[in-house]
Structure 1
Amino acid sequence: MESTNLIEGSFDKVAEQRTALRTRHSAALTSLMEAREDLRGVHALADFVDDSVRWSA
């Protein structure tokens, strides 16, 4: 039973880390896109994330 708790704890920790990284990367991408308007249109996924963050704010 203890090993199950360790595994569940590991999964929870990984999920929290992924959420933190996703938030940090989205914020950094948004800052970059604000500072460098010439990057708009270079990468479709970057544009999508930037637009998504702006619309959700």
Structure 2
Amino acid sequence: MTTPNPTGCVHCGIERRIHGRQYTKAAGWHSWQQPTQQQIKDRMRARRDERTRP
């Protein structure tokens, strides 16, 4: 599975410019919402780990 972009929606990880209205079981129908600073940091680390994994 690919880690969402660090600035993707807090609920689903989809980028703001293509988000529109999305549905997830946890959040229901929602518009893009900014991720928390911790979420951004965790996503950045996860993406780096994916790139460096053999």
Relative to its length, the structure with more strand (as a share) is 2
TM-score by length of 2: 0.32
Higher helix share: 1
User: Which is higher, the Rg of structure 1 or of structure 2?
Assistant: 1
Q: TM-score, normalised by structure 1?
A: 0.30
